[in-house]
Amino acid sequence: MNHDSTTQYEPLRQAVRHYVTEEVIPLEREHGLTWNIAPPKDLRRKVRLRAKELGLYAPEMPEAVGGAGLPFLGRCIMEMELHSHDTVFFEDVLGGGGGPTPILLAGTRAQQDRFLAPLMAGETTTCFALSEPDAGSDASNLRTRAVPAEGGFVVDGTKNIVSNGPQADFGIVFAMAMGADGPAGVTALLIDSTAPGYDNSRSHTCMGFTGFQGEIALIDVRVGADAVLGEVGRGFALAMDWINANRIRTAAMATGIARRALARSSAYAMQRRQFGAPIASFQAIQLKLAEMATELYAAESIVTRSAWMKDEGQDIRQVSAMTKLYASEMVNRHAYEAVQIHGGIGCLEETGIERIYRMVRILTILEGTSEMMRLTVADRLLKAAPR
Ligand SMILES: Cc1cc2nc3c(=O)[nH]c(=O)nc-3n(C[C@H](O)[C@H](O)[C@H](O)COP(=O)(O)OP(=O)(O)OC[C@H]3O[C@@H](n4cnc5c(N)ncnc54)[C@H](O)[C@@H]3O)c2cc1C
């Protein structure tokens, strides 16, 4: 990996910055949108369609399905830029949770035409419905069942804390469709949210971003055999492939937010005066900023390196866990210090700092908790250790 690997994406990074600052943030101001509630569906669609027009939407998807075929590294650089700005449309600019997902590349031609093509066009959104009330870290221990019936399946179960669940046009739903328990029994099904028995009306009031996560209740939902993505019993492998890559993307998100926390904290430290001097002149504040800058540099470095490793086709299972663990824990430390540097007004909604503090808390939990990241790292480390 050399310096040019990242600098070649500079025009795209600038294009993200321009779109977000000149069009997306003004749009949310015009509509008075706040972080307390997920933005309305029609405005999210508008942001996606314009992003598509600008060539920013789902850029890492292959050209064969309408993407730009950009390396994952390019996507992560764009992702870091996106999150260094404060926008409620953060899931729509590049196509994040609910946008086009490589997991659908496992689909048949017919499935890609029906589900992937409108996603790529920015017209629809989806959701990744794996977690259940009794299956979180133990993600293959699912209770949702897909029982074979009349050339297809009848699906019953409940999914919860599903990102974009309440607004998704269809769900990528993971269910047990075979006799086998555990990973070998998990099957991915593509289910239209308008299917009878599919109820996504219950959204969660969630820390950071209310209305975006929700529950999906599946009551006697009938699907054809053509709803199976890939093969019966291959769903867990598909899910994990996607999650491993997405952990790096989540780390890029954490890193972008950390850039924002640091930029705002240093600007505020220069401007805020106490005891007759800017607080930036106090070493206590300088040490915090220096620590943040150093850790931010480390996070940027591992995000870009891990993304590059994915592009090189290397095994990323361990590094994606390390990257997500480091970046998500790092941004939580930085959010804490950003509030501290801002003092009392850091706790007020108007500064945007308390929002960072609330928003980043979810990052050490989704796509695997920090504890599970450490276990993944240790597992691979010890498997490779001499016996
Ligand atoms: C904002 C948000 C968005 C989400 N979006 C989605 C989504 O789109 N799709 C989806 O399917 N899910 C989603 N989730 C769910 C998420 O994947 C789970 O919350 C996560 O995997 C943890 O599972 P859990 O909440 O059941 O915690 P649990 O698994 O119950 O864990 C509770 C605690 O026990 C610890 N623990 C569990 N097992 C072990 C172990 N073996 N060793 C040590 N410690 C352990 C955990 O680290 C944690 O500290 C989302 C969650 C959040 C918060």
At residue 101, the pLDDT reads 93
Does residue 265 share a domain with residue 325?
yes
Residues 258 and 376 in one domain: yes
- What share of residues in the chain are helix, strand, coil (percent, to 5)? 55, 15, 30
Atom of ligand 1 nearest to the CA of 163: 8
Cα–ligand 1 centroid distance for 362 (angstroms): 10
293: containing domain:
237-384
Domain end (from 211, 233, 255): 233
Q: Do 214 and 226 belong together in one domain?
A: yes
Half-sphere exposure of 53 (CA within 13 A, CB side): 7
**Residue 47 in contact with ligand 1 by CB distance below 6 A:** no
pLDDT greater than 70 at residue 3 = no
Tell me which of 35-39, 158-162, 268-272 is least confident. Answer: 35-39
My answer on whether 92 and 131 are in the same domain is no
Q: What is the pLDDT of residues 139-177, one digit of tens each?
A: 999 999 999 998 999 999 999 999 999 999 999 999 999
- Give percent above pLDDT 70 in the chain: 99
Statement to judge: residues 248 and 225 lie in one domain: no
How many Å lie between the centroid of ligand 1 and the Cα of residue 140?
A: 12
Residues 114 and 187 in one domain: no
Ligand 1 atom closest to Cα of 97? Answer: 8
Task: For residue 188, report the phi and psi dihedrals to the nearest 5 degrees.
Answer: -95, 130
Is pLDDT at 1 greater than 80 in this prediction? no
Q: What CATH number is attached to the domain comprising 366?
A: 1.20.140.10
Q: Are 256 and 364 in a shared domain? A: yes
CB atoms within 10 A of CB 290: 11
Task: Band the pLDDT of 193: cuts 50, 70, 90.
Answer: very high
Residue-wise pLDDT tens digits, 53-93: 999 999 999 999 999 999 999 999 999 999 999 999 999 99
Cβ-contact 171, 96 below 8 angstroms: no
Question: Which pLDDT belongs to residue 5?
Answer: 73
Taking the alpha carbons at both ends of the chain, their separation in whole angstroms is 33
Instruction: Locate the ligand 1 atom nearest the alpha carbon of residue 129 and give its number.
Output: 11
Indicate the residue among 233, 255, 275 that finishes a domain: 233
**Residues 194 and 239 sit within 8 Å (Cβ to Cβ):** no
Residues 45 and 52 sit within 8 Å (Cβ to Cβ) = no
Which residues are registered as beta bridge partners of 159?
216
**281, 373: one domain:** yes
Report the CATH number that the domain containing residue 59 is assigned in CATH: 1.10.540.10
Q: Which of 120, 140, 169 is the last residue of a domain?
A: 120
Q: Please give the single-letter amino acid code of residue 364.
A: T
Q: Which residues pair with 129 in a beta bridge?
A: 173
What is the band of 204 on the pLDDT scale with cuts at 50, 70, 90? Answer: very high
d(CA 308, CA 366): 23
Q: Which residue has the higher pLDDT, 35 or 351?
A: 351
Q: Is 211 in the pocket of ligand 1 (CB under 6 A)?
A: no
What CATH code is carried by the domain that includes residue 180?
2.40.110.10
311 alpha carbon to ligand 1 midpoint, in Å?
28
Are 90 and 150 found together in one domain? no
C-alpha distances in Å from residue 156, one per residue of 20, 153, 219: 41, 10, 5
Query: In terms of domains, do 377 and 265 share one?
Result: yes
Q: Are 67 and 99 in contact (CB under 8 A)?
A: no
Report the percent of the chain where pLDDT is more than 90: 89
Same domain (yes/no): 186, 293: no
Domains: count for the chain: 3
Residue 137 has pLDDT above 70, yes or no: yes
Which bin fits 319, alpha (ψ -120 to 50), beta or left (φ > 0)?
alpha
212 in the same domain as 187: yes
Pick the catalytic residue from 291, 300, 367, 371: 367
Q: Which helix (H) or strand (E) holds 366?
A: none
- Centre of ligand 1 to C-alpha 354, Å, is 23
pLDDT at 297 over 80: yes
* pLDDT beyond 70 at 12: yes
In single-letter form, the type of residue at position 242 comes to: W
